[in-house]
């Protein structure tokens, strides 16, 4: 398992004359499946330093032809739904089948809480001991594009390193599930028993992003309740929009503790892949995702350069107040900001 503190990052990638050679060496090592090189590559991609940006893009460019050969699975659920234990059980099961499993995380709360979902190594101890697993905590946000670009690019690196199952974890309370849905093939919503109550805490429309809703902790005394919950979800799904054309969202249950239901989830994922590959939806979605990726990068950059502009930064609070007080129209205020912005 590879963890890189941000202090280490800065040291490891100091600008030096050997950068091009370093990228070439890293490329080869990643293509050979070297996990430590992969971790270094992701650190490069995640770096907020401007001079690392070029190196990271050059690395990605070289690895791009070797990416794409995995099934990408997004996993979300409210805090407490047991995402970590599920991913561990699912990951260990997949390693047992001979798959190479990479786990990435998007955690919008990490900047607030100071930690990340996977920050605690001990939480996936069993999976981290697998030689075919790679676990990476969520990147921090930053200047050169957001967390989503970084996660997508990290995923491509993992694929180039030979990982054929990518699990992307996100907390189901923010804006990040939509971003994850836009980078994965299959999206899974992990829930607990007691559908009605739990849904109160869930993000609007999140069920309609899911290809499968999985009731976790279906073990012991909880099993009959879990089955009841599963049937409730099955009924609700009927009223909702499908996430993937031609695929009926499934309601499943499992126990990350006993392992019951885990193989069945993998069967559903494989059936899904077969179905959408045959219909062409798989390829179409990936194409669309690549296009979105480009335009997201553009949009991030545009907003960043605007809102970080010194003139805009100093004017915005006053103008926002004026608009709120009804003293200025939004277009009028925006006009003043753009005059400053374009005078750079």
CB-based contact 131:66 (threshold 8 Å): no
Q: Give me the torsion for CA of 259, 248, 76, 121, rounded to 10°.
A: 30
- Say whether residue 161 binds a second copy (CB under 8 A): no
Among 278, 284, 327, 339, binds a second copy (CB under 8 A): 327
- Say whether residue 317 binds a second copy (CB under 8 A): no
Among 19, 34, 67, 140, binds a second copy (CB under 8 A): 67
- Say whether residue 337 binds a second copy (CB under 8 A): yes
Residue closer to a second copy, measured from CB, 4 or 292: 292
Residue closer to a second copy, measured from CB, 274 or 327: 327
Question: How far is it, in rounded angstroms, from Cα 244 to Cα 276?
Answer: 8
- Say whether residue 308 binds a second copy (CB under 8 A): no
- Say whether residue 332 binds a second copy (CB under 8 A): yes
CB-based contact 256:82 (threshold 8 Å): yes
Ranges within 13-42 binding a second copy (CB under 8 A): none
Count of chain residues binding a second copy (CB under 8 A): 55
Buried residues in 81-117 as b, exposed as e (16+ CB within 10 A): bbbbbbbbbbbbbbbeeebbbbbbbbbbbbeeeeebb
Specify the stretch interacting with a second copy by CB under 8 A; choose among 21-29, 59-67, 79-87, 106-114: 59-67
| Contact letters for a second copy, residues 81-120 (x by CB under 8 A) | ----------------------------------------
- Say whether residue 122 binds a second copy (CB under 8 A): no
Q: How far is the CB of 188 from a second copy (least distance, A)?
A: 17
Termini Cα distance of the chain:
45
CB-based contact 188:74 (threshold 8 Å): yes
- Say whether residue 287 binds a second copy (CB under 8 A): yes
- Say whether residue 310 binds a second copy (CB under 8 A): no
CA nearest to 169, candidates 154, 261, 160? 154
Specify the stretch interacting with a second copy by CB under 8 A; choose among 74-82, 193-201, 256-264, 268-276: 193-201
Dihedral of alpha carbons 27, 95, 115, 300, sign: positive
- Say whether residue 296 binds a second copy (CB under 8 A): yes
Dihedral of alpha carbons 165, 171, 173, 178, sign: negative
Residue closer to a second copy, measured from CB, 93 or 304: 304
In the complex, which residues of this chain contact a second copy (CB under 8 A)? 53, 57, 60-61, 64-65, 67-68, 145, 149, 153, 195-196, 199-200, 202-205, 208-209, 236, 238-241, 287, 290-291, 293-294, 296-299, 301-303, 306, 319-320, 323-324, 326-335, 337-338
């Amino acid at each position: 398992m590879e963890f890189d503190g941000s202090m280490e990052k800065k040291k490891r990638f100091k600008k030096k004359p050997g950068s091009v050679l370093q990228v070439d060496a890293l490329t080869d090592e990643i293509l050979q499946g070297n996990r430590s090189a992969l971790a270094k590559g992701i650190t490069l991609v995640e770096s907020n330093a401007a001079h690392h940006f070029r190196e990271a893009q050059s690395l990605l460019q070289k690895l791009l032809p070797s990416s794409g050969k995995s099934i990408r699975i997004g996993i979300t659920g409210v805090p407490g739904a047991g995402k970590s234990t599920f991913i561990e059980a699912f990951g260990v099961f997949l390693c047992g089948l001979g798959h190479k499993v990479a786990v990435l995380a998007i955690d919008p709360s990490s900047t607030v809480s100071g930690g990340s979902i996977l920050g605690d190594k001990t939480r996936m101890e069993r999976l981290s001991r697998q030689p075919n697993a790679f676990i990476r905590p969520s990147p921090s946000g930053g200047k050169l594009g957001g967390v989503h670009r970084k996660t997508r690019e990290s995923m491509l690196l993992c694929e180039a390193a030979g990982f054929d199952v990518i699990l992307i974890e996100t907390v189901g309370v923010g804006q990040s599930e939509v971003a994850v849905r836009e980078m994965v093939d299959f999206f899974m919503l992990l829930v607990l028993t007691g559908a009605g109550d739990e849904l109160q805490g869930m993000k609007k429309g999140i069920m309609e992003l899911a290809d499968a809703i999985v009731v976790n902790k279906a073990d012991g005394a909880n099993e009959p309740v879990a089955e009841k919950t599963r049937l409730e979800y099955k009924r609700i799904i009927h009223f909702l929009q499908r996430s993937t054309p031609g695929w009926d969202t499934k309601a499943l249950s499992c126990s990350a503790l006993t392992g019951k239901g885990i193989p069945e989830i993998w069967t559903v994922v494989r059936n899904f892949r077969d179905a959408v590959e045959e219909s062409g939806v798989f390829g179409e979605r990936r194409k669309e995702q690549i296009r979105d990726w480009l335009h997201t990068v553009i949009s991030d950059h545009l907003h960043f350069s605007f809102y970080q502009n010194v003139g805009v930064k100093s004017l915005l609070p006053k103008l926002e107040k004026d608009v709120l007080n009804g003293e200025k129209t939004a277009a009028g205020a925006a006009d003043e900001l753009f005059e400053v912005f374009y005078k750079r």
